[in-house]
Amino acid sequence: MATLAEAAPVRQLEEIWETPAGWRGTISSVDHKTIGKRYLVTSIAFLVIGGIEALLMRSQLAFSSQHILSAEAYNELFSMHGVTMIFLYAAPVLSGFSNYLWPLMLGARDMAYPRLNALSYWTYLVSGIFLYTSMPFGAMPNAGWFDYVPYASREFNPGINIDFYALTLILLAISTTVGSINFITTLFKTRAPGMSLNRMPIIVWGTLTASIANIFALPALSAAAAMLYLDRRIGTHFYDPSAGGHPLLWQHLFWMFGHPWVYVIVLPAMGIVSDALPTFCRRPLVGYTFVAMATVMTAMLGFGVWLHHMFATGIAPLALAFFGGASIFISIPSAVAVFAWLGTLWDGKPWYPAPMKFMVGFVALFVIGGVSGVMTAAVPLDWQLTDTYFVVAHLHYVLVGINVFPVIAGVYYWFPKITGRMMDERLGTWNFWAMFIGANLVFFPMHIVGLLGMPRRIYTYPAGYGWDIYNLIETIGAFVFAIGVALFAVNVWISRKRGVIAGANPWDAGTLEWSTPSPPPPYNFAVIPTVASRHPLWEDRLNEGSARSSIWKGPVLVNGRETFATTPLDAEPSAVLQMPQDTWLPLGLAISIGIIGYGLLFSLFWLVGIGAIAAAACAIAWLWPARVATEQPTVDTEFGVLPLGQDWRHDIGWWGMACVVATEAAFFAYLLFSYYYLGSQSTNPWPAEAPRIALPLVNTLILIASSVAVILATREIRRDNEKSLSRWLGVAVVLGVIFLALQVVEYSREKFSMTHDAYGSLFYTITGFHGAHVMVGLLMLVVVLIRSMRGHFSRARHEAITNVALYWHFVDLVWLAVFTTLYLTPHMQ
């Protein structure tokens, strides 16, 4: 039973939550703080690598007509610089902050899925290593970070450079997707009691919004990268205009992902400022609701501006106007946030230690980058500026200003919490001025050379265009900026051992993480806090009301790794969750995924098979329950009697599965968009010959019948009828297998192939991906069938059945969309 205790059994909590020392602990830790620190260190290492690549490029461009680098080497460097900074630094570094901080800010003992958290990190590391193994092979990606086809097609880029790129992005998409699912579920299910939606720190809003955006945007990138890989290695024709494909399909899919991604890598960083800046102003953030909604609206509008990257591709003027309008109006929520920060400064009593300097610098850079963004949202001006250095200036002001500066501010701000020591203030001041002056020296003149007509991505340039002096200034600025980064690294290195001891709350901040010791213990909170306001540590000072948060007294939850599950809106306790132990399975699964990647890269399909078997083994071992309880245990807490291990309704497993279904649905939506897009652009009949409909119709009925069987299985277990549960699950499995068998029969009968034309490519890709989903669903059905035969389920405990049923119904619903698109619409023409 959870007890009310002022003196929590700290030693017992430490024994329960502490990761064992040594290499076993290193590979098996699922502690969010350890994973967060790993994310931070790894991503900042990639920042340094990407920065060195930038310095090499700037050295080349310092003067006209230089040949320090060859054109080929320059192409590889600017591609690797972009991919490294955008994918391996900018987003993962924010995941580092969020992983470390979320449970501490939300009053929980860990993330909702600690093992998934570890998988997210290990897969990220594997993908980074995967990308950089292209270097010893002499085959680094060389078509830019957005990798436009046809530069990236096999015809013009025959090496494996682009294959490294495509497979890296797919690996990273896995990492980011599982991480996003974890953030969403953590936010909606594991906040401290009382922390309703309106009491969350803004960085939580930022990462939540970014995670939801990832769920819907990343599938566009995965689909685009998979189709690029298939075009290059299998001979499909998605991007091949000679066979019904279209290069602009890549641009559409890439930017449907790419622009939301821009906000993914800035919104949590803006959240860092929204949470940290008020601490140094000695007052709460002005307009909390306005800033939270500005964050949400920015992400929403971010999905509707992708075409502004394609203004120069010949799209109809009125369509451009719609996207130009959205691109201009997206500045409204950004401006709201800026005015909120300025209002907080104006009305507060600001003081300016190193983190505050970086935050104020960020506001300045944000405004400059934002203004040039509004300029390029105007279609006529964009036509003049496309592919010039003006665009390079804009995107670097945005990404350095809104990502790097808040990240450095965040490190200075939370370093005392992470290490227990303060960073050196004098070094911090030098660090700030070197980076601020350097950033403006390197990026501001790019506006001017862009307006003077200097194209981006040229590896050298002739004298006499008036570009020389600006390029020299830019190069000097780049090295000044690099000195700033070096000062930062020195400061971190020195301060982690020799910094002044910080104490729990050195900045006198108001949010929950500062109530824990520095560094926090493995269990985060000795008692689970109960939250009464947005600033639990400032309540007496602000005197907003009579209610007070309870931080030092409350439930202990000491029977194993436990934390509260709470309701999504008001954070009312709904269950006591039992969290998993440390395990090496996430690392094993990540390595298996990496093996599959190398197998696909070198067309070693036996290696792909080994990786797939290893991945399946890890997944089954992961999902197999450590303990089986057919009765619903309960626990008596000060919030009443709560179920132990799962909610009465919609447990955290359901939330995870719902997120999986959402992102997979988006994946199929992008594939079907590709079908309709290429169909609308095709100059030939689409399709040349409509597919036969009789067998797919029978298959559709079979799949619908399988869903009915799963519904009946769920109904039977709710009646506590285990035998009927097994029977109906068995029927669903048999029907699923028949569906796949008939799909194979249909493939053997069709007259066109995957490599025949773009239609054939899409037909087999869409039905093939759907078939793969049916196989995954079948695997899950077989697992729950075996478990049901072993008596694992009861009326009280059958959450696995509910979650698998959700996935299976999704697979069936997607088939209805696929069937309508691929089989019915050709007969309607």
Partner 1 sequence: MTTTEHPAPARGAVALGGLWFGFLAGPAAWTLQELVGSAITSHECFPRIFPLAAPPMEGMRGLLFGVSLFAIVLCVAGTAVAWRDWTRTRAEHHESTGKARQHAHPAALLETGEGRTRFMALSGVLVSVTFLIVVIANSASIFLVRPCPGQ
Q: Which is nearer to partner 1, 292 or 359 (CB)?
A: 292
| Structure-block tokens of residue 571 | 């954070």
CB of 115 closer than 8 Å to CB of 28: no
Q: Which is nearer to partner 1, 440 or 533 (CB)?
A: 533
Distance CA 83, CA 152 (A): 14
Radius of gyration of the chain (CA): 27
Q: Can you tell me which of 545, 627, 631, 649 binds partner 1, judged by CB under 8 A?
A: 545
Q: Counting contacts by CB under 8 A, is residue 546 touching partner 1?
A: yes
| Alpha helix segments (H runs only) across 330-467 | 331-347, 354-377, 379-385, 389-399, 405-419, 425-451
Q: Counting contacts by CB under 8 A, is residue 543 touching partner 1?
A: yes
CB crowding 539-571: b at 16 or more within 10 Å, else e: beeeeeeeeebbbeebbbbbeebbbbbbbeeeb
759: number of Cβ within 10 Å:
26
In the complex, least distance from residue 311 CB atom to partner 1, rounded to whole angstroms: 13
Contact stretch for partner 1 (CB under 8 A) within 70-78, 352-360, 545-553, 582-590 = 545-553
Q: Can you tell me which of 1, 321, 342, 458 binds partner 1, judged by CB under 8 A?
A: 321
299 half-sphere exposure, CB direction, 13 A CA radius: 25
Contact stretch for partner 1 (CB under 8 A) within 166-174, 569-577, 691-699, 794-802 = 569-577
In the complex, least distance from residue 547 CB atom to partner 1, rounded to whole angstroms: 5
Q: Can you tell me which of 99, 123, 142, 549 binds partner 1, judged by CB under 8 A?
A: 549
Contact stretch for partner 1 (CB under 8 A) within 38-46, 63-71, 563-571, 736-744 = 563-571
Q: Helices 161-189 and 71-83 meet at what angle, rounded to 10?
A: 10
Q: Counting contacts by CB under 8 A, is residue 310 touching partner 1?
A: no
Q: Counting contacts by CB under 8 A, is residue 317 touching partner 1?
A: yes
Q: Can you tell me which of 5, 48, 55, 293 binds partner 1, judged by CB under 8 A?
A: 293
Q: Can you tell me which of 189, 232, 308, 534 binds partner 1, judged by CB under 8 A?
A: 534
Q: Counting contacts by CB under 8 A, is residue 103 touching partner 1?
A: no
Q: Can you tell me which of 242, 683, 748, 829 binds partner 1, judged by CB under 8 A?
A: 683
Q: Can you tell me which of 10, 371, 489, 542 binds partner 1, judged by CB under 8 A?
A: 542
195-254 residues near partner 1, rule: CB under 8 A? 195-199
794 conformational bin, left if phi > 0, alpha if psi -120 to 50, beta if neither: beta
In the complex, least distance from residue 569 CB atom to partner 1, rounded to whole angstroms: 6
Q: Counting contacts by CB under 8 A, is residue 544 touching partner 1?
A: yes
Which residues, 6+ apart, have CB-to-CB distance to 514 below 8 Å? 417, 504, 505, 507, 537
Q: Which is nearer to partner 1, 332 or 489 (CB)?
A: 332
Q: Can you tell me which of 1, 10, 135, 332 binds partner 1, judged by CB under 8 A?
A: 332
Distance CA 416, CA 432 (A): 18
Q: How many residues bind partner 1 (CB under 8 A)?
A: 62
In the complex, least distance from residue 208 CB atom to partner 1, rounded to whole angstroms: 13
DSSP code of residue 593: H
Distance CA 678, CA 388 (A): 30
Angle at 37 between CA 31 and CA 41, to 5 degrees: 150
Q: Counting contacts by CB under 8 A, is residue 292 touching partner 1?
A: yes
CB of 160 closer than 8 Å to CB of 601: yes
Contact stretch for partner 1 (CB under 8 A) within 56-64, 292-300, 457-465, 804-812 = 292-300
Q: In angstroms, how far is CA 235 from the centroid of its own chain? A: 30
Q: Can you tell me which of 67, 548, 718, 719 binds partner 1, judged by CB under 8 A?
A: 548
Q: Counting contacts by CB under 8 A, is residue 501 touching partner 1?
A: no
Q: Counting contacts by CB under 8 A, is residue 532 touching partner 1?
A: yes
| Structure-block tokens of residue 719 | 């009646």
Q: Which is nearer to partner 1, 602 or 676 (CB)?
A: 676
Contact stretch for partner 1 (CB under 8 A) within 190-198, 475-483, 650-658, 732-740 = 190-198
50-69 residues near partner 1, rule: CB under 8 A? none
Q: Counting contacts by CB under 8 A, is residue 323 touching partner 1?
A: yes
Residue (of 694, 735, 681) closest to 823 by Cα position: 694
In the complex, least distance from residue 534 CB atom to partner 1, rounded to whole angstroms: 6
In the complex, least distance from residue 213 CB atom to partner 1, rounded to whole angstroms: 13
In the complex, least distance from residue 214 CB atom to partner 1, rounded to whole angstroms: 18
Contact stretch for partner 1 (CB under 8 A) within 55-63, 72-80, 91-99, 544-552 = 544-552
| Structure-block tokens of residue 498 | 């020799």
Positive/negative CA dihedral, 419, 425, 431, 433: positive
Q: Which is nearer to partner 1, 114 or 287 (CB)?
A: 287
**Residue 635: beta bridge partners?**
642
Q: Counting contacts by CB under 8 A, is residue 817 touching partner 1?
A: no
Q: Which is nearer to partner 1, 542 or 741 (CB)?
A: 542
Distance CA 195, CA 570 (A): 7
Residue (of 44, 42, 25, 28) closest to 491 by Cα position: 44
Residue 517, φ and ψ in degrees, nearest 5: -60, 160
In the complex, least distance from residue 571 CB atom to partner 1, rounded to whole angstroms: 7
Distance CA 436, CA 112 (A): 38
Distance CA 739, CA 442 (A): 59
In the complex, least distance from residue 301 CB atom to partner 1, rounded to whole angstroms: 7
In the complex, least distance from residue 546 CB atom to partner 1, rounded to whole angstroms: 4
Q: Any idea which residue has 């694992």 for tokens?
A: 792
Q: Counting contacts by CB under 8 A, is residue 495 touching partner 1?
A: no
Q: Distance between the two ends of the chain, CA-based, in angstroms?
A: 67
3-state SS string over 654-697?
HHHHHHHHHHHHHHHHHHHHHHHHHHHHCCCCCCCCCCCCHHHH
Residue 39, Cβ density class (10 Å: 0-12 exposed, 13-18 middle, ≥19 buried): buried
Q: Counting contacts by CB under 8 A, is residue 351 touching partner 1?
A: no
In the complex, least distance from residue 102 CB atom to partner 1, rounded to whole angstroms: 19
C-alpha distance from residue 308 to each of 76, 162, 680, 786 (Å):
26, 25, 21, 52
Q: Which is nearer to partner 1, 323 or 481 (CB)?
A: 323
Q: Counting contacts by CB under 8 A, is residue 530 touching partner 1?
A: yes
Q: Which is nearer to partner 1, 65 or 242 (CB)?
A: 242
Q: Counting contacts by CB under 8 A, is residue 270 touching partner 1?
A: no
Q: Which is nearer to partner 1, 21 or 316 (CB)?
A: 316
In the complex, least distance from residue 778 CB atom to partner 1, rounded to whole angstroms: 34
| Structure-block tokens of residue 262 | 């821009």
Q: Counting contacts by CB under 8 A, is residue 634 touching partner 1?
A: no
| Alpha helix segments (H runs only) across 62-150 | 71-83, 91-106, 114-132
In the complex, least distance from residue 235 CB atom to partner 1, rounded to whole angstroms: 23
Residue (of 321, 302, 299) closest to 311 by Cα position: 321
Q: Can you tell me which of 48, 73, 296, 817 binds partner 1, judged by CB under 8 A?
A: 296
Distance CA 98, CA 108 (A): 13
Q: Which is nearer to partner 1, 346 or 465 (CB)?
A: 346
Q: Counting contacts by CB under 8 A, is residue 290 touching partner 1?
A: yes
CB crowding 195-233: b at 16 or more within 10 Å, else e: bbbebbbbbbbbbbbbbbbbbbbbbbbbbbbbbbbbbbe
Q: Counting contacts by CB under 8 A, is residue 665 touching partner 1?
A: no
Applying CB under 8 A, the residues found at the interface with partner 1 are: 193-199, 283-284, 286-290, 292-293, 296-297, 300-301, 303-304, 307, 314-319, 321-323, 325-326, 329, 332-333, 343, 347, 530-534, 542-550, 569-571, 638-639, 680-683
